[in-house]
Structure 1
Amino acid sequence: MKRLFVSKRGLMTVVVCIVSIAALASFAIAGPLADKQQDEVKVSAQAAEAKDTSGASAVVKPAAPNLDKGEYKQIAESKYLTLKANSGTGHFTVTDKRTGHVWKSFPDEKGYIEKENQGKWKANLESPLLYSYVEFNVRQDLAKEDNLKDGKGIVSKFEATGQGFKVQYEIPDLGFVIPAEVRLGDDYVETKILQDGLKDERVFTEAELKTKKDNEARLVSVRLFPFLGAQTSEEENGYLFLPDGSGAIVEFKKDRGGTNNYYSERVYGADWAYSANTIFSIRKPVRMPVFGIKSGKQAMIGVIHDGSEYANLVAAPSKTFSQYNWVTAEQNFRFMYYQYTNTKKTAGYVSYTKDITASDRSVRYYLIGRKDADYVQMAARYRQYLTEELGMQPLQANGNKLELQLHLLGADSERGFLRDSYLPLTTTRQAQEIVQELNTIGIEGMSITYLGWQRKGFSQYGGSFPLSSKLGGNDGMQQFVDFTHAKGYEVYLDASSYSFNNTGKDGFRRNRDGLRDIGASVMEYYTRGSDKKNTFVSPRFAEKVILDELSNAQALHVDGYVFGQGIGSLLNTDFNENYAATREETKQIQQRIFETTKNALGHVQVEDGNVYALQYVNHVQGLNDDISNDLFVDRGVPFVQIALHGLVTYSANYANDSDDYETTFLKGIEYGAVPSFIVTYAKSQQLLKTRSLGKFYSTYYKDWLQEMAMQYQQYNEALGDVRNQFITGHRSLADGVFETSYAGGKRIVVNYNAEPYAGNGWIVKPKDFAVVKQGGIEWLKNGL
């Protein structure tokens, strides 16, 4: 279901705005040469220790944050944790009573080398918050970055709350007031930027304005306690965890070369409403708002709990800007965009949104209470978060058979000289033949997704019902669904097309119902390989159409919809006055669509969806099993799969659409996935005639019958009896050899090498895997 959409403006704009890139990077790249004069600024006044920590508010004097200096008093205690705080700085320490390890809101001093942390970054490391701001009366295209120390910030309030404390930071020169709260849970410490009391405007008196210019400084972003858990690579054995693809590891390395490479990605991907004249990131999107640090034998996982839709994840390894390895959440309150100044949209300027997007923003840091903690325990704790906070439920035991994910391509538009025509590739009667053959050769479990079923085919968006008679019509689809139900299979309809409209059907009018960016332009895109425009539908309009048509889907007896390529995977602000929605409201709209569809049809699935959709789905299609392979990323891990296995089933890319079929198969076994294929009744050459399907180069089902049967059998033998079990372990046994463990004691060893791997009395053949059960070995040949 890989429909690739790109911004027309983004691709046609060859030159990216240099100012835009500079502003994005400036916060993370601030170094000794940035704001050299500010390096000389020292806050001389020391904060008076707050005498009352019982809950009363205490005003303290300006503070000069220094790593582990000052007095830390116990503020709160929970089941597993003890919190101490310095009321003069707001810095804190958390002691894990289970392990004795002390986590600090500032960088750990172990291995600290003064000469490697100089200038601006020395002050950054000491400060409890970093912030960026724009001066609209000076340079509205440039966000400046600073820290509490160099910005002459103060702690103006400190108040114990019983569960923790509240602290108020002020930057008087800019008029900024940033209230924050720190509190303990049983096994986590939560840091929160509070909406109540947040100010970002200095009020000048008439007398001041006679001698001073109001630069109109406004807050852009804040990183609160950005170096919580930060470590050098001098004495610590550890790594950073990033939510890139399936999960990426950045090892702590003493010999890592100096670099300016760092990680900065928007949670849930870019907001296309601000995308004019920019190019999207080529990294894999952040689907889960999580990050982590392993230090020695200790580990913690950070979860953006409130405001994830407005956050970035930022990380850098040692030798990038400073000596420290760190990862943090950056909370955004204003957003960069490109303002066109002519109707042809050939000229313009970069600016930031005038209005602040204010809301509570919080991060929970879950401390892993065991001395052998790693990314597996991080993922396990996040799995617990998904059940406790998002309401996901463990899978129920339902036999020992996986369901082959079978995707059928129905029809598409065939290119014509004067006009396109309808080209059936798999009619409902032909689909019945395919399912019957697969059943005959031993595929007992199957979940079928029908793509290109809508009235005018795969690349035509809008007016899905009724189905074309050339495909089989509504009656043909109902008969097909009833036939598959008799076999014990489920049928889903691909509902990706509801995110776009290029037909004008469903009462859609481009200028009235299209999603608009901040410049009020209707957002239009081209399908790869096509010259036909696709208009992005306003989320509220899409919701209305989907709800109106659910009764049509019910009449076909289908088991559910599969949403993707927009709903559940893209999150955009809508500036259409008819359907205006913030990014947060768009998320809520998408959640309502998932919930309503599930209630109406029984089930709903998503393709590579964001985490906020997962509580509604029973399967995730196209789940990423790879990473972006950035220069400083060292390896990929199945963090996402560990977190989800036992809560939902998932499949990766189509096996017959892979450049490396053998590796794809083995990784599916290693990562606990379900096999997935996309096929047609028509021969593969027919797809070259279509508007959008030429990218699927091998779909003729008869070419893949035996492979589907083989994979189905081997996946079931390896994973069928653990489909509802949690993954409890994952490790590398050797280069190219990995072991995955399940709650019931089953272990699966995968060997990607061209040489056999010898274990403790057993051998895994090259390019093969073995299943290790309690009490013995079960040998499996992959037959490839």
Structure 2
Amino acid sequence: MKAKRIVCALLVIGAALALWNPGDGKPARAADAAAEGGDAPAAAGTPSAKLRKPAKDGSLTPAAENDRLRLYFDNRSGGVAVEDKATGSLFYSNPLGALEDAKASDAAKEELMSQISLVYNVKGKEGDLEMNSYTHAMKLDQVGWGKQEQGLTVEMVLGREEQRRLLPQQIAKASFEENVLSFIEAEREKRRILAFYILYTREDLEGAKGKELLAKYPALEKEDIYVLKTSITERDKGVLESSVKKAGYTYEKLAEDYERVGYDGDEAVFPYFKLRLDYTLQEDGLSVTVHNGQIEYDKERFNLVKMTVLPYFGAGKSGEEGYLFLPDGSGTIIGFNNDGSKNTLLTTGKLYGPDYALSQADRGSFKQEFRAPVYGIKKDGSALLAVIEEGDAVAEINGMMGNINHSWNTAYASFTIRNKDTFIQENAFEQAPWIIYEKNAYDGNIALRYFILTGEEADYAGMAGAYREYLVSEGILKKTDPPEQIPFYLDTMGAVDTMVRKFGIPTRSQAAVTSFDEAGRMLERLTGKGVSNVKLRYTAWYNGGYFHTAASGMKVEKVLGGAKGMKELAAKARESGAELYPDVDFVTVSANKAFDGFKPHKDGIRSLFQKTGYKGILNVATLEYENSVWGVDPNKIPDYYDRFAKDYATLKPEAISLSSLGDTLNSNFKNNRQVNREQSMALAEEVLAKADEAYGNVISDSGNAYLFPYADHILNLPDEDSSLSIADRQVPFLQIALHGYIGYAGEPLNLASDLRPAVLKALETGSGAYFKLNYGDSSLLKDAFLFDDVYASRFADWEDAAADLYAEMNEVLKDVQDQAIVDHEQLAEQVYKTTYESGKAVIVNYGDQEIQVEGIRVGPVDYAAVTP
């Protein structure tokens, strides 16, 4: 059984790391509280009185240190800097020289100087608005900070009334004359002010448009009012505001006047967000926490939609050597945009894949998902890895290129606090989309952990090693104690619906693609050919087979051999040294029958528009969603598991496969039963923990990181990236992090488009041998519209080849199964080397020419194992 799972899900805020040589921005060690002006009394719209204001000299003020690192408050930006004491290198939350960046606009410069960016919406209004901590807090003198044990705290207030123009949109005539015009001495200036307003009197109510005016300006029933002309330009607004301010008019008086006339427009809404960041030094880096649930703002008027944290921490300047690391598939690296050739500004991935309670659009291209809550920046001789510790399920990870809007290349995370969705009615003519916001906002913390890497560890392999060590230290990963031979993963399918004739009438009925007895025969024949340590995953065996009803109970398909046949297969697996993993899908339902415990409108996921939600089935040929299955309300999944487990126990199982729990994570927006993604992840973990406790052997798919404490094996773990044009190279980050701790395999070898490179990929990444094979006639799959998925799965066609490939892979990898991958590197074009703890290495050559590297000859499309 796996060790403890950290209670909070993994989440990393912000970007990765910027390394700076000691020089510009060197700490002013003599700076102290007195130099900064000391503690200041709090005023409305300011941080707590106990916190000190940033110093005006823009220095770095020491706050905390440990044996390796020193933490500073950065008085330039309101952010921080971390110093590696051994090298003197500084890692800044905001780039030095950002305000002098010739490529950046004034707005971009202020973004570069921000630690927090917020997206919010005024309720009842269209469109989202943005704020950042430099423009809307630091420049307004609304940042305070204080030292904490091994760290510092920063409080900031983003937004205040003074951000809005002091310019009445509607005002009673009497108040305007008394509180503004009476204080203007020059008649010419008075006339200029009045030229910008329209005066409506009670006499106007007697005209043809009287009813319309009264509906628009109800105050006209009691008194005359001035209304600002809508045609006024921004330049004129500035001139007029100067006159109003000169008259001594205040925001307090403006609020009174708005209440008097009943005006509640955009200009009357003042955004205000007060929040706190905690920075804490760790032995090997820095932890950052935003107390998202404690952010103070007017929840009656505003929706907080999204938050970005430390978007430029460790950013690398174009012209410097370095790259971004993103968890796209197995991992991808994107070199700094030093020549300006990369014209895609932003690359984004939603962590843990799509949420099928939200609208899905056709992708246009095949894309891997982001499975691990990590990202990084490599720069010169140092690197930074960020791990999202809390908020990962609502996070998206971004890579931004320099040489486009500004000079800086960066990676960072954004967090969706409140989802929104849009809907356009079919065949609508010039209709604006409906927009609706999630009610059940995420209110947990956002927490990031940054690891500072230097020397030989400062690359993607070092980042993966740091992530592995972190997971081990948190009790999430434990070393495996594997059998002598590598695993042979065998996926086989049970029952499908197919067309048959009964009494001459065509009808659909269940047919066995691979019965329990036939699965036993496959085991016998494989073990007879020298295959051992078989992990047999059996799908489509219960509640209707491939197109199954809800897993709220269990009925073993008779056409496969029934419960007795399943028990006999389990016994045969034990006798041959194999393990049987029956697969159960608690996340989706593809068939619905009366009294099956599932009603789509009641037990399925709902969209924000209260429509039943579906998981789209992507056709990788057309890149369109051509089919769909219902998504199960995450609230129902633990109950379904408990009910299914009671029936499942009658089979006396020793293992289970929960493939969909590691692949798909949905919200549910059904009114009164809403579940956000963080809550959905906690429910999935609850089920995974129960299965791990009950059976001790769990297989799942795809590798969403919340699986790691519970899964013994992960199939279909990504072994490539999305091959985006902006990316420079795919890397096996996930495999480096997990090898020796969790068994895994990529795609089934028999379904690969090119077999030999797929075998080399498995050897390069230390994967098990994985085949998806069925005993029966493949025509059954075609009749069930599944032929495209398993077109090359006939066991008789692969029996000998699978045994031979297993023997080949086993010879290379059997003695390193429990060893971590300590290095991975590219030696030449299409030549890669993977090194294990013992010093053993595997060199693979994907090229069509023989090569010689490190004194070793490797043939075309071949490999060499090197022992120390």
Cα shift readout 1:57-102 (whole Å, capped 9, x = no counterpart): 54556899xxxx6121110012321111135742221112343321
Q: 1:268 & 1:115 partners in 2: Cα distance? A: 38
CA shift, 1:468, in A, is 2.2
Q: Provide the rounded CA distance (Å) in 1 between the counterparts of 2:761 and 2:467.
A: 22
Equivalent residues of 2:442, 2:676 under 8 A apart: no
> Given the superposition, is the C-alpha separation of residues 486 and 189 from structure 1 closer, same or farther in structure 2, using an over 3 Å criterion?
same
Distance 1:491 1:469 in 2: 19
> When the two structures are superposed, what TM-score results if normalisation uses the length of structure 2?
0.76
Matched, 1:308 2:294: no
2:68 to 80, 84, 87: 80
**Residue 622, structure 1, aligned to residue 716, structure 2:** yes
Q: Residues 138 and 278 of structure 1: is their aligned pair in 2 closer, same or farther, counting only changes over 3 Å?
A: farther
| Equivalent residue in structure 2 for 1:659, among 743, 753, 765 | 753
User: 1:304 and 1:728 mapped to 2: Cα distance?
Assistant: 23
Deviations 1:659-708 (A, max 9, x none): 11111110010011011001111132332111435421111111111211
Q: 1:137 to 1:395 in 2, by over 3 A?
A: same
- Residue 599 of structure 1 and its aligned partner are, at CA, apart by 1.8
**1:127 paired to 2:114:** yes
Identify which of 155, 158, 173 aligns with 1:168: 155
Corresponding residue number in structure 1 for 2:699: 605
2:639 maps to 544
Q: Which structure has the bigger radius of gyration?
A: 2
Q: Secondary structure at the match of 1:554?
A: helix
Q: CA deviation at 1:498?
A: 5.1
Cα distance 1:286–1:181, how it changes in 2: closer, same or farther (>3 A)?
same
Question: Alignment partner of 1:115: what SS?
Answer: coil
**What SS does the corresponding residue of 1:180 show, helix, strand or coil?**
strand
CA separation of 1:355 and 1:669: change in aligned 2, threshold 3 A = closer
- In the other structure, the counterpart of 2:369 is 285
The whole-number CA distance in structure 2 between the counterparts of 1:447 and 1:472 is: 20
CA gap of 1:196–1:409, structure 2 versus 1, over 3 A, is closer
1:365 to 450, 454, 458: 450
The residue aligned with 1:155 is 142
Report deviation, 1:147. Answer: 5.1
Give the alignment partner of residue 375 of structure 1, picking from 437, 443, 460.
Answer: 460
Whether the 8 Å CA contact 1:304–1:362 is kept in 2: the answer is yes
Matched-pair contact (CA < 8 Å) for 2:145–2:155: yes
From 104, 109, 114, the counterpart of 1:117: 104
1-side partners of 2:523 and 2:440: how far apart? 55
Partner of 1:671: 765
Q: TM-score, normalised by structure 1?
A: 0.84
Partner of 1:21: none
Question: Per the alignment, do residues 143 and 707 of structure 1 end up closer, same or farther by CA in structure 2, a change over 3 Å counting?
Answer: farther
User: How far apart are the structure 2 equivalents of 1:165 and 1:353?
Assistant: 33
Give the match's secondary structure for 1:269.
Answer: coil
Aligned length: 708
8 Å Cα contact 2:48-2:144 kept in structure 1:
no
* One-letter identity of the residue aligned with 1:472: G
Structure 1 gaps of 5+ residues are 1-26, 29-46, 204-215, 775-784
Matched, 1:248 2:332: yes
Where 1:309 maps in the other structure, the secondary structure is helix
Q: 1:393 aligns with which of 478, 496, 508?
A: 478
Bigger Cα displacement from structure 2, 73-82 vs 523-532: 523-532
Compute the displacement of 1:103 (Å). 0.8
1:772 and 2:866 matched = yes
Question: Hey, what does 2:532 align to over in structure 1?
Answer: 444
Q: What is the CA deviation profile of residues 462-484 of structure 1, one whole-angstrom value per residue up to 9, with x for unaligned ones?
A: 36633222211110110011011
Mapped to 1, the partners of 2:392 and 2:407 lie a distance apart of: 28
Partner of 1:35: none
2-side partners of 1:154 and 1:312: how far apart?
31
Q: Return closer, same or farther for 1:267/1:71 CA change in 2, 3 Å cut-off.
A: same
- Which stretch shows the higher mean deviation, 747-756 or 344-353? 344-353
Report the equivalent of 2:422: 338
How many Å separate the matches in 2 of 1:727 and 1:258? 32
Query: Cα distance, 1:304 vs. partner?
Result: 1.0
Amino acid at match of 1:479: E
The answer on whether the counterparts of 1:412 and 1:692 sit within 8 Å (CA) in structure 2 is no
Q: 1:656 to 1:370 in 2, by over 3 A?
A: same
Contact 1:403 1:674 (8 Å CA) reproduced: yes
Paired letter, 2:134: L
Cα pair 2:356 2:615 within 8 Å, conserved: no
**Helix, strand or coil at the partner of 2:796:** helix
Question: Are the counterparts in 1 of residues 288 and 449 from structure 2 also a CA contact under 8 Å?
Answer: yes
Match of 2:123 in 1: 136
Match of 2:283 among 186, 194, 207: 186
Query: How much has 1:108 moved relative to structure 2?
Result: 4.4
Instruction: Determine the structure 1 residue equivalent to 2:680.
Output: 586
Question: What secondary structure sits across from 1:711 in the alignment?
Answer: helix
Moved more, 473-482 or 451-460: 451-460
Distance change >3 Å, CA 593–CA 280, structure 1 → 2: farther
Find the aligned partners of 1:738 and 1:671 in 2 and give their Cα distance: 10
**Residues 664, 239 of structure 1: CA spacing in aligned structure 2 closer, same or farther, 3 A cutoff?**
same
CA-to-aligned-CA distance 1:407-441 (integer Å, 9 cap, x gap): 11112010468641111111111111111110111
**Aligned pair partner of 1:327 in 411, 422, 439:** 411
Structure 2 match to 1:456: 544
Task: Spell out the pairing of 1:634-783 with structure 2 (5 A cutoff).
Answer: 634-774=728-868
Residues 72 and 594 of structure 1: is their aligned pair in 2 closer, same or farther, counting only changes over 3 Å? same
Over 3 Å counting, the alpha-carbon distance change for 1:626 and 1:424 in structure 2 is same
- 1:118 deviates by 2.7
- Per the TM alignment, residue 162 of structure 1 is displaced from its structure 2 partner at its CA by 2.0
1:236-275 to structure 2, matched below 5 A, reads 236-257=320-341, 259-275=343-359
1:56–1:160: 8 Å Cα contact kept in structure 2? no
Q: 1:500 aligns with which of 589, 597, 603?
A: 589
In structure 2, the partner of 1:562 is: 657
Structure 1 position 359, deviation (Å):
2.2
Q: What letter corresponds to residue 194 of structure 1 in structure 2?
A: H
2:563 aligns with 474
Q: Distance in 1 between matches of 2:680 and 2:576?
A: 39
Judged with a 3 Å threshold, the aligned counterparts in structure 2 of structure 1 residues 472 and 528 are, in CA distance, closer, same or farther, namely farther
State the alpha-carbon separation in 2 of the partners of residues 454 and 196 from structure 1.
Answer: 43
Indicate the larger mover: 507-516 or 625-634.
Answer: 507-516
Shift of 1:379: 0.4
Alpha-carbon displacement from aligned partner over 1:146-193 (angstroms, at most 9, x marks no partner): 452267544342111121111111122421212211111111211221
Aligned equivalent of 1:97, options 85, 103, 112: 85
Q: CA deviation at 1:759?
A: 2.4
Identity %: 26
Distance in 2, Cα, partners of 1:456 & 1:480:
19
Q: 1:758 to 1:411 in 2, by over 3 A?
A: same
Measure how far apart 1:120 and its partner are. Answer: 1.8
Shift of 1:339: 5.3
Instruction: Determine the structure 1 residue equivalent to 2:609.
Output: 519
One-letter identity of the residue aligned with 2:790: F
Q: Hey, what does 1:8 align to over in structure 2? A: none
Q: Which residue of 1 aligns with 2:221?
A: none
Q: Verify the 8 A CA contact 1:77 1:83 in the aligned structure 2.
A: yes
Q: Would you say the 8 A contact 1:123–1:150 is kept in 2?
A: no
One-letter identity of the residue aligned with 1:76: A
Q: Name the SS of the counterpart of 2:863 in structure 1.
A: strand
- Give the SS at the match of 2:669: coil
Change (3 A) 1:294 1:347: closer
Q: Among residues 51, 58, 63, which one is paired with 2:38 in the alignment?
A: 51
Unpaired runs of 5+ residues, structure 2, are 1-13, 16-33, 41-46, 164-270, 620-624
Change (3 A) 1:668 1:326: same
Matched position secondary structure for 2:812: helix
